[in-house]
Structure 1
Amino acid sequence: MRVAVIDLGTNTFHLLIAETAGNQPEILYKTNVPVKLGEGRINDNMIIPAAFERGINCLKDFGKTITDYQVDVVRATATSAVRSAENGKDFVNAVNERTGIKIETISGDEEAELIYRGVKLSGAIQEPSLIMDIGGGSVEFILCDTEKLIWKKSYNIGAARLMQKFFKSDPLSDSEKQNMLFHIQEQLEDLFEICEKYKPQILIGSAGAFETFAELVTGKHHQNIAIEQLKMYLFNYDDYIDVALKLINSTHQQRVEMPGIIPLRVDMIVIAALITNYVLGRVKINRLMLSTYDLKMGVLASLM
């Protein structure tokens, strides 16, 4: 069976087309487009007109590709930006009318479940682990071991939300850092309580920002590794911390000049580094792994 998975993220829309015969899916086509659906007014729960149109135009293009590949089944999932927007249903209806693509708006819990399934498919879960997925609108945490998912939750502290609320200086000022970390601390109290009980041994970062961290770490050592072709990547912890602190203290222009950061992530990567460092510190974890398999692969796993 040939399936297409569309992931409508707050920042990026992804399309994955795969053949699902056999145990492992064969990826036939993969692309992503920086639609920035959450641009401008994500904290007002509104998709602005320009972003609305970008989203529809992107999905028209995806529709053409899906037709070209003669796909049997399409599953399109929308997450935080659509879920929380007052005009989210209008967007879903407009997409259906203008492209024929039916979008399923999933809850934060369903999103976390699918992220878990994607990461599990990569083989990254080899001990008690805390999985973290930093999106533009929300951040998902999943506590698991090799056997099962133990606990999961989605928080509205995504990089686009925090950036629009707190990130006003260049570089990020100390007071902005403190305000942001205070806000994160308030939101994540129950996460820290449950981690105290189950004591995860490693943080597994699901794709996105963690792929950028990996690009920067391997680039720093002049290693020619194609991150997107790996299922997982184990960080040297000191290397990660060094890169994260450099990002947090850099100016916008300095980040633009860093090879390995895609334009969409130039500013949001600062937020991602801050949240990741804070969680690692609070949960007392000093091991970090990237899983390049994320929500898309979880949706694919559910279709197999």
Structure 2
Amino acid sequence: MRVAVIDLGTNTFHLLIAETVGKDLKILYKTNVAVKLGEGRINDNIIIPAAFERGVSCLKTFYDTILEYKIDRIRATATSAVRSAENGNDFVKAVKEATGISIETISGDEEAELIYQGVKLSGAIQELSLIMDIGGGSVEFILCDTEKLIWKKSYNIGAARLMQQFFKSDPLSDEDKQAILFHIQKQLTDLFETCEKYEPQILIGSAGAFETFAELVTRKHNQNIAIEQIKTYPFNYDDYIDIAVKLINSTHQQRVEMPGIIPLRVDMIVIATLITNYVLGRCKINRLTLSTYDLKMGVLASQI
């Protein structure tokens, strides 16, 4: 059986095509496009016309690819940008008319569940863990162990949202930094209460920004590791902190020139770093690992 998974993120649209033979899973094709659906007015809950058109155009291209692979089943999921936008349903209808693809707009809870299932497939969960997925529109946290999901929640503090609201300086000023941290602190009260109760010892970062952190660390040590081809990557904590300090204090141009940062993340990686640092500090966690498997792998698991 061949399955196509489309993940419509706030920043990036992903297409993953896989084939199942018995219990084996083979990835046949994967790609992503920086659609930037949340560009401009995500905090006003609007998909602006240019982003709307980019999204429809991208899904037309995805559909052409899907036809080539003779797929048995398609599942397309939309997350924060679509579910919070006043014209999100208009976008879903426009895509259906243009391509025949039916988009399922999932809730934050469903998103967290699928992220958990994806990370679980990677083998990253070896003990009581806190999973964190930093998207453009929302950030999901999942507390789990090797047996079960214990607690999960989605928060509207994604990197694109915070960047549009607070990121007004270059390099990031102390004033902007404090405004971001104050906002995060107010939003994540129940997360910190949960972590105080359960005391997870490791943070698992789900793909996205954490792949960028891994790229920067491996390049720093001249390690020849293709991040996109591995399932997990355990960070040396001091290496992560060193990279984090550089990112927070860098200018836009300095980040542009850092090998390992894709153009889409040049500015948003600063927000992602601030959130990650704050969570590590508040939850008293000093171990960090990457799972390259995320929501789309969870969706794939749900189809097979």
Name the TM tier (shorter chain): over 0.9
Shift, 1:23, TM fit: 2.4
Q: What CA distance in whole angstroms lies between the structure 2 residues aligned with 1:83 and 1:23?
A: 34
* 1:78 partnered with 2:61: no
- Find the counterpart in structure 2 of residue 49 from structure 1: 49
- Find the counterpart in structure 2 of residue 223 from structure 1: 223
Q: How does 1:239-278 map to 2 (within 5 A)?
A: 239-278=239-278
Q: What CA distance in whole angstroms lies between the structure 1 residues aligned with 2:294 and 2:143?
A: 15
Output the amino acid matched with 1:122. S
Alpha-carbon deviations, 1:123-143, whole Å to 9, x = none? 000000000000000000000
* Structure 1 residue matching 2:133: 3-state secondary structure: strand
TM-score by length of 2: 1.00
* Structure 2 residue matching 1:4: 3-state secondary structure: strand
Q: What CA distance in whole angstroms lies between the structure 1 residues aligned with 2:9 and 2:247?
A: 23
* Structure 2 residue matching 1:95: 3-state secondary structure: helix
* Structure 2 residue matching 1:20: 3-state secondary structure: strand
- Find the counterpart in structure 1 of residue 292 from structure 2: 292
Shift, 1:21, TM fit: 2.2
Once superposed, what is the RMSD of the aligned Cα atoms?
0.5
Shift, 1:24, TM fit: 3.5
Q: What CA distance in whole angstroms lies between the structure 1 residues aligned with 2:125 and 2:232?
A: 10
Output the amino acid matched with 1:11. N
- Find the counterpart in structure 1 of residue 233 from structure 2: 233
Output the amino acid matched with 1:192. F
* Structure 2 residue matching 1:259: 3-state secondary structure: coil
Q: What CA distance in whole angstroms lies between the structure 2 residues aligned with 1:9 and 1:86?
A: 16
- Find the counterpart in structure 1 of residue 301 from structure 2: 301
Alpha-carbon deviations, 1:79-138, whole Å to 9, x = none? 000000000000000000011110000000000000000000000000000000000000
- Find the counterpart in structure 2 of residue 140 from structure 1: 140
TM-score by length of 1: 1.00
- Find the counterpart in structure 1 of residue 89 from structure 2: 89
Q: What CA distance in whole angstroms lies between the structure 2 residues aligned with 1:150 and 1:191?
A: 12
Shift, 1:22, TM fit: 2.6
Q: How does 1:155-170 map to 2 (within 5 A)?
A: 155-170=155-170
* Structure 1 residue matching 2:250: 3-state secondary structure: coil
- Find the counterpart in structure 2 of residue 198 from structure 1: 198
Output the amino acid matched with 2:40. G
Which runs of 5 or more residues in structure 2 are unaligned? none
Larger deviation, residues 48-57 vs 16-25? 16-25
Larger deviation, residues 200-209 vs 20-29? 20-29
- Find the counterpart in structure 2 of residue 103 from structure 1: 103
Name the count of aligned residue pairs.
Answer: 304
- Find the counterpart in structure 1 of residue 118 from structure 2: 118
Shift, 1:201, TM fit: 1.1
Q: What CA distance in whole angstroms lies between the structure 1 residues aligned with 2:119 and 2:26?
A: 17
- Find the counterpart in structure 2 of residue 178 from structure 1: 178
Q: What CA distance in whole angstroms lies between the structure 1 residues aligned with 2:151 and 2:288?
A: 19
Which runs of 5 or more residues in structure 1 are unaligned? none
